[in-house]
Structure 1
Amino acid sequence: MTNLVPIGRALISVSDKSGLIELSRALASYGVELISTGGTSNMLRAAGLKVRDVAEVTGFPEMMDGRVKTLHPNIHGALLALRDDDEHLLAMAAHGIEPIDLLIVNLYPFEETVAKGADHATCIENIDIGGPAMIRAASKNHRFVTVVTDPSDYGTLIDQLKAHDGATSLAFRQKLALTAYAKTAAYDTAVSTWLAGEIKEPFPRNKSFAGTFRQGMRYGENPHQRAAFYTDGSRREGVATARQWQGKELSYNNINDTDAAFELVAEFAGGAPACAIIKHANPCGVGTAGSLREAYLRAYHCDQTSAFGGIVALNQPLDAETAEEIVKIFTEVVIAPGASDEAKAIFAAKKNLRLLTTGGLPDAKSPGWAFKQVAGGFLVQDRDFAGVPELKVVTKKAPTEAQMADLLFAWKVAKHVKSNAIVYVKDGATVGVGAGQMSRVDSTRIAARKAEDMAEALGLAASPTIGSVVASDAFFPFPDGLLTAAEAGAVAVIQPGGSMNDDKVIAAADEAGLAMVFTGQRHFRH
């Protein structure tokens, strides 16, 4: 198999022209003939480089507003011809096709155009045709052709030329071909996703997802699992777009938990200062207050044991007072829209604490997909956003205004707790969270027991669940779970309703003197 292949002719057609002149000069120094299109050729000539126009190679001018310029046998034959196949060589000679050994292409900025809110016609015009066709041709023939689709690879190409006296190695061409095929796949995914949105087709016959490599990781959830982090280009504020100010690289579990924390605290965007503390993707405390420091303390006092080594998310920029409280215990990650210089200085003394800032909160209302892999396929669904529920009071007693505020708070938190989820809330802070149990009764008991433990640790005279409200992410199938919450001291309940036993559950609530509202929506989280 051919290993080193010298580069004699290069075709350059790029929309992103960064780093191109330096690369082209390096190619020219090895005697490489440069072929280029339109604006790229003009730029290279202005830099003093000798360039041959594609139109000269094809014998046809660019036409149809540039839609047709490289779709020609003199281009694709030059890229696809096998240099060790006599019939291919004879065909090239018969038709005057000269080989192209290097293709440098990056595609029309379709995703950027869509992100800017361009109209339909402009988006269509930014769908590249010739570029992907050439990339696929060159990649298929990577035994002989080098294909570069990303300016970040220009430096590596120059290093190859220096190492091999103007040639490239097979291993290098294989790696670039892999990058190229992934690039065109991601590009087609972006176009198909946009078009599906344009015609309001949420579930087309074929659905694909694409990502861009962000970082490798030492391991995944466990040390024996390989892992990497990819971004999806959505630009949604969060861990993928955050700036890390200090601390070692985020692990797989750090990223998963930090995302869960920030999505939860985003439920309180535009409101009072709020803090969410996450452990193993579940909230162990959420609080709101008049200051960020107090919101943190209220979240922390829900479950101090679980908060150790947890993730802290804030809905407002981190200030020095809050930072002083956070560093009193070991915390893995803090994520916030911003951070003051004073807060950064306080964190600087804790070298293992990661601080991330995002510049904003993710829009909880923004559309998006959630997907989960299963054997032989994957499940796709909308991101869980149902808006503020239309509450229906179903008991004789109605919640007070203060209780209703706490019920809505509890409902927001329950959405982010693994099912079966039970959340006790009092005065704008969680006081007990029960997560991920097979029985809703067990979740109710665990949450109440945690509250009792914290009452003892804080020296409180009674459990904070007394006088609290409780949220259940799905309906109570029987009265037992609801009565367990009442025994813990809950006075009001929010739940979806919809059980065959709703009448029995409502009757039990009335008998226990509880106020209860139905939401008509549930928030399973598995």
Structure 2
Amino acid sequence: MRYGMNPHQQARILDGVGPRVINGEPSVINYLDALNAFALVREADTATGRPSATSFKHVSPAGAAIAGDVDTVAADLWRVQGVAPTSMFSAYVRARDADPKSSFGDVVALSRPVDRETAQFLRTVICDAVIAPGYEDGVAAELSAKRSGSFLVLEADDILPGVRGRERRDVHGVTIEQDRDTADIALALPDDGSLDLATRTDAILGLLTARYTQSNSVVFTRAGAAIGIGAGQQNRVDCVRLAGSKARTWWLRRHPFVDGLASVVGMGRQDRLNWQIRFAGHEMTRGQLEEFTQLFGTEARAQYDDPTWRDAHTATLDGVTMTSDGYLPFRDNVEHAGEFGVTTIVEPGGSTRTAEVVDAARILGITHVQTGLRLFHH
């Protein structure tokens, strides 16, 4: 490999058959991202029957989605029009749009072969690698030219031949072996009509995303896309709040104040996007506020300082499904979720206070589903 976790660490593959390297040299993190990302999209495609994509950063997804409608805000931002809602391309645009700040420099995983339309888009965004089960004629060569020829292009079979029933890890000289997590997520969900098809699909996508997200993790999904992922927190309520804040920012980017932020001559797409995210999330430093006012004017600054429109617009977000990789230990998880448009919660259950969690969901009118399936991932 190019290097290990860091440039000062050497690394090599000792065993197993992984994805084919068409171009570039992977580091350990590139490889871990690619393997986990590809497993996620292949499982999502199999479970939903729709093309699936994910944007991976540091061994957790920043976004994940199945093919679907690309709304006008995303279409305008990413400068793509007329994207077919059944296409592989639509899945990645939706996945990247979920948390584009985190997707900057991502590893892209696609569940189906890369077509020219998707490849041309990948050449316009900041990403480090792509893994897919194949490429249309000439597409792999086009992508290989990205980043002065260093862009990492990987090809994997539908099921990686190196996947075994058990997996091993060496940690400080200790070798640990365990069964690979192959639990059927769809079977863990009730099939009694309590979840309509759209919500059930969101729940499946959310659970699969949680399966490949560093624990603790909580995923907010809506209309076939993960719009907020809270990963790697030491307590579950912080996962909920983090996922909720990301979903809130995603929704606020659709507010006319944010979407209609004035264009600045010479400003690139990513810089404009960064300003929109800071504006929506009310997260500017003093220095950024001064620059923002100079760039966009006093009216935009007044909108930034006004808290009322953010709260009012957030209150219109609904139809969100929240999935959790571990049980919810306290009712505050539900109460925070309710502030971000969550109408369905899917979790393992089994906490000593699950009855309180169920009661909190009932009071807030949130459908509560217990799967009995924990999905920790490290």
Common fold, TM-score beyond 0.5? yes
Question: Would you say how many aligned residue pairs link Structure 1 and Structure 2?
Answer: 299
Segments of 5+ residues of structure 2 without an aligned counterpart are: 68-85, 260-309
Instruction: Quote the residue 2:247 is aligned against.
Output: 451
Deviates more, 1:407-416 or 1:369-378: 369-378
Contact 2:65 2:205 in 1 (8 A): no
Greater C-alpha Rg: 1
| Distance across 2 between alignment mates of 1:468 and 1:302 | 13
Instruction: Quote the residue 1:434 is aligned against.
Output: 230
SS in 2 for 1:434: strand
Change (3 A) 1:285 1:440: same
| Distance across 2 between alignment mates of 1:291 and 1:305 | 24
Residue from 221, 225, 228 that aligns with 2:5: 221
Contact 2:144 2:150 in 1 (8 A): no
Instruction: Quote the residue 1:277 is aligned against.
Output: 55
Change (3 A) 1:372 1:358: closer
Instruction: Quote the residue 2:357 is aligned against.
Output: 505
Contact 2:33 2:107 in 1 (8 A): yes
Q: By how many angstroms is 1:307 displaced? A: 1.0
| Distance across 2 between alignment mates of 1:291 and 1:317 | 11
Q: Does 1:255 align with 2:16?
A: no
Q: How does 1:485-524 map to 2 (within 5 A)?
A: 485-524=337-376
Q: By how many angstroms is 1:442 displaced? A: 0.7
| Distance across 2 between alignment mates of 1:453 and 1:297 | 17
Instruction: Quote the residue 1:355 is aligned against.
Output: 153
Q: Does 1:231 align with 2:18?
A: no
Paired AA for residue 169 in structure 2 = K
Q: Does 1:331 align with 2:127?
A: yes
CA-to-partner distance for each residue in 1:418-451, whole Å, 9 max, x for gaps? 1111000011111000000011111111111122
CA-to-partner distance for each residue in 1:399-434, whole Å, 9 max, x for gaps? 333212211221111111111110000111110000
| Distance across 1 between alignment mates of 2:170 and 2:137 | 42
CA-to-partner distance for each residue in 1:207-238, whole Å, 9 max, x for gaps? xxxxxxxxx54x32123323222232xx4xxx
Segments of 5+ residues of structure 1 without an aligned counterpart are: 1-215
Contact 2:61 2:212 in 1 (8 A): yes
Paired AA for residue 411 in structure 1 = L
Instruction: Quote the residue 1:22 is aligned against.
Output: none
Contact 1:473 1:524 in 2 (8 A): yes
| Distance across 1 between alignment mates of 2:228 and 2:54 | 13
Q: By how many angstroms is 1:457 displaced? A: 4.0
Q: Does 1:368 align with 2:165?
A: yes
| Distance across 2 between alignment mates of 1:342 and 1:465 | 42
| Distance across 2 between alignment mates of 1:369 and 1:427 | 34
| Distance across 2 between alignment mates of 1:331 and 1:379 | 33
Instruction: Quote the residue 2:104 is aligned against.
Output: 308
Paired AA for residue 509 in structure 1 = A
Paired AA for residue 221 in structure 2 = V
| Distance across 2 between alignment mates of 1:393 and 1:368 | 28
Change (3 A) 1:337 1:471: same
Contact 2:61 2:213 in 1 (8 A): yes
Higher relative contact order (CA 8 A, sep 6+): 2
Instruction: Quote the residue 1:416 is aligned against.
Output: 212
Residue from 399, 404, 408 that aligns with 2:200: 404
| Distance across 1 between alignment mates of 2:191 and 2:368 | 6
| Distance across 2 between alignment mates of 1:411 and 1:265 | 12
Q: By how many angstroms is 1:309 displaced? A: 0.7
Residue from 321, 327, 333 that aligns with 1:469: 321
RMSD (CA atoms): 2.4
SS in 1 for 2:102: helix
TM-score (norm 1): 0.53
Contact 1:337 1:361 in 2 (8 A): no
Change (3 A) 1:381 1:372: same
Instruction: Quote the residue 1:390 is aligned against.
Output: 188
Instruction: Quote the residue 1:380 is aligned against.
Output: 177
TM-score (norm 2): 0.73
Residue from 306, 318, 335 that aligns with 2:114: 318
| Distance across 2 between alignment mates of 1:230 and 1:327 | 32
Q: By how many angstroms is 1:360 displaced? A: 2.7
| Distance across 2 between alignment mates of 1:304 and 1:275 | 14
Q: By how many angstroms is 1:371 displaced? A: 2.4
Q: By how many angstroms is 1:355 displaced? A: 1.4
| Distance across 1 between alignment mates of 2:157 and 2:330 | 45
Change (3 A) 1:376 1:273: closer
Change (3 A) 1:465 1:432: farther
| Distance across 2 between alignment mates of 1:444 and 1:478 | 12
Q: By how many angstroms is 1:363 displaced? A: 8.3
Paired AA for residue 50 in structure 2 = A
| Distance across 2 between alignment mates of 1:431 and 1:498 | 27
- Percent identical across equivalent pairs? 34
Q: By how many angstroms is 1:342 displaced? A: 4.1
Q: By how many angstroms is 1:339 displaced? A: 0.3
